[in-house]
Amino acid sequence: MKSNRNFHYLIVGQSLANIGDVLYIVSVISIIYSLTESATASAFVPFTITFSMFISNVLTPLLIGKFNLKHLLVGSQIGKTLFLFGLGIFLMIGFDSINFIFIFVVICFIALLDGCANPIRQTLIPYYVEEDSLVKANGVAETVTQSIQIGTWFFGSMLLIVFNPNQLIWLVTVLFVFSSMILSLIKNVVHREERQEKKWSQLTKGWQTIKRTPLLKTVVCMEFFETIAGSVWIAAIILVYVDQALNAQEYWWGFINAAFFIGLVVGSLMCIKFSLFVDKKRHVFIIIGAFMTCIFTVVFGLTSFPIIAMILSTLIGLFGQLKNIPQQTLVQTSVPKEQLATVYTSLGTIGTGTFGIASLIMGILSDYFGVRSIFILSGILLAIVSIMALRNQNLFRKTIELE
């Protein structure tokens, strides 16, 4: 991959930020629970993050039309650092009676900045990497991200044994400082600004691009159903599945979650190792990945054996990733680079909004119809995705794109 230095700066800087994000969430949940002794209040943290990122994805196109992409990325990370620094100072003062509200305000603003940074990071990869290397680059990015998810959630809870939550927040502040410094080293990219546009046009630019791009319309429809299907994998539902469907000990909850992320990492590594082949056969991997995740999800919902459930969880992560990385590459090459940031904000809006609502609905359906039923429903939704991928395979072929 050419321009490796900028790509590496981007990945390392964002990785430090991602590690910090997980550690600060672990800290915040611990602090909120100690202040309120309420599991519900602690569970409200991910809801706040999802809702704030949804709002951010809606509004970010206004900033993309006015500011340099690098400056937005670095500025958002610096902003996160300042908010976390403020939280650390505030907790040192110890106003316990209002810490609860203030912590949620900080969570909200950090998530707003994250919602701005995520689509920009995805947009910058095609600027720093040649098109023939995009599958490999996306594989590397996904491998690092998922490895962080596996390791940091585990070690984050372990760090609470050594540090108290306030000290962990200061550690995260240091990580955010280094992240900001490294991201500031990436090269500026030429991104055409269109200041004359009205605000409504800026807000809807990504949607307009999707509307007139057949491939993106298909991807949006597929991701809509996939997001609903994927909402069954939230921690609360998996915990119920382990208890009611498997009749297993609670530790299997952790094993099944870890197995899923391991599958994601293995899938990413395969895309890196065989990047040229995956790139050439994008449509095949998208179709097979969608079909296999459908089959394995249905079987996962039907099984009563914890070991089989763990193996199936790994395979679902594996084939899901073998589909998602080529699909991500297709999005990055489907429109001019200048339009990617607004496209990603639109995709992010769909993803966060749909996931938040779907998670609530799946939880209700699980209570009324049983936890097995929602995995069957998830499999049906993935079957729809498989049919869509099969019917539109010509859009996914690389030869079509390059004509």
Q: What single-letter DSSP state applies at residue 243?
A: I
- Is there a domain that residue 191 lies in? no
Number of folded domains that form the chain: 2
Q: What is the 3-state secondary structure (H, E, C) of the chain?
A: CCCHHHHHHHHHHHHHHHHHHHHHHHHHHHHHHHHHCCHHHHHHHHHHHHHHHHHHHHHHHHHHCCCCHHHHHHHHHHHHHHHHHHHHHHHHHCCHHHHHHHHHHHHHHHHHHHHHHHHHHHHHHHHHCCHHHHHHHHHHHHHHHHHHHHHHHHHHHHHHHHCCHHHHHHHHHHHHHHHHHHHCCCCCCCCCCCCCCCHHHHHHHHHHHHHCCHHHHHHHHHHHHHHHHHHHHCHHHHHHHHHHHCCCCCHHHHHHHHHHHHHHHHHHHHHHHCHHHHHHCHHHHHHHHHHHHHHHHHHHHHCCCHHHHHHHHHHHHHHHHHHHHHHHHHHHHHCCHHHHHHHHHHHHHHHHHHHHHHHHHHHHHHHHHCHHHHHHHHHHHHHHHHHHHHHCHHHHCHHHHCC
What percentage of the chain reaches a pLDDT higher than 70? 88
Predicted confidence at residue 297, as pLDDT, reads 95
Q: What is the CATH number of the domain that holds 283?
A: 1.20.1250.20
The model's pLDDT over 120-163, given as tens digits with 9 standing for 90+, comes to 887 788 888 887 777 788 788 877 877 787 777 667 667 777 77
The span from the CA of 386 to the CA of 318, in Å, is 16
CA-based nearest residue to 271, from 119, 118, 140: 140
Using the Cα atoms of residue 50, residue 51, residue 52 and residue 56 in order, give the sign of their dihedral. positive
What Å distances lie between residue 91 and 86, 98, 106, 186, CA to CA?
9, 10, 12, 34
CA-based nearest residue to 320, from 146, 148, 125: 146
Chosen domain end from 119, 148, 183: 183
Predicted confidence at residue 30, as pLDDT, reads 75
Tokens 């509307």 sit on residue: 211
- The residue range of the domain holding 258 is 202-401
**Same-domain status, 236 and 178:** no
Predicted confidence at residue 291, as pLDDT, reads 94
- Is there a domain that residue 197 lies in? no
- Is there a domain that residue 280 lies in? yes
The model's pLDDT over 10-35, given as tens digits with 9 standing for 90+, comes to 889 988 988 888 888 878 877 776 77
**Same-domain status, 235 and 112:** no
The span from the CA of 397 to the CA of 403, in Å, is 11
Point out the least confidently predicted range of 163-172, 175-184, 338-347: 338-347
Predicted confidence at residue 202, as pLDDT, reads 58
**Same-domain status, 264 and 179:** no
Q: What single-letter DSSP state applies at residue 130?
A: -
Report if pTM > 0.85: no
**Same-domain status, 102 and 40:** yes
The span from the CA of 159 to the CA of 261, in Å, is 21
- Is there a domain that residue 57 lies in? yes
**Same-domain status, 234 and 140:** no
Top pLDDT among 239 and 181 is at 181
Annotate 77-116 with DSSP letters as a single string: HHHHHHHHHHHHHHHHHT-HHHHHHHHHHHHHHHHHHHHH
Chosen domain end from 183, 218, 238: 183
**Same-domain status, 49 and 144:** yes
355 pLDDT higher than 90: no
Point out the least confidently predicted range of 42-46, 94-98, 151-155: 94-98
- Is there a domain that residue 190 lies in? no
The model's pLDDT over 210-239, given as tens digits with 9 standing for 90+, comes to 787 888 888 889 989 998 998 888 766 777
The span from the CA of 208 to the CA of 361, in Å, is 29
What Å distances lie between residue 241 and 59, 203, 292, 350, CA to CA?
37, 40, 21, 27
38 pLDDT higher than 70: no
- Residue 56 has which token pair? 């951010």
Give the mean model confidence (pLDDT) for residues 42-68: 75
- Is there a domain that residue 317 lies in? yes
- Is there a domain that residue 365 lies in? yes
**Same-domain status, 212 and 300:** yes
Instruction: Count CB atoms within 10 A of the CB of residue 4.
Output: 12
**Same-domain status, 225 and 296:** yes
**Same-domain status, 172 and 120:** yes
**Same-domain status, 328 and 378:** yes
- Is there a domain that residue 192 lies in? no
**Same-domain status, 166 and 305:** no
**Same-domain status, 123 and 242:** no
**Residues 107/333, Cβ–Cβ less than 8 Å:** no
Instruction: Count CB atoms within 10 A of the CB of residue 61.
Output: 25
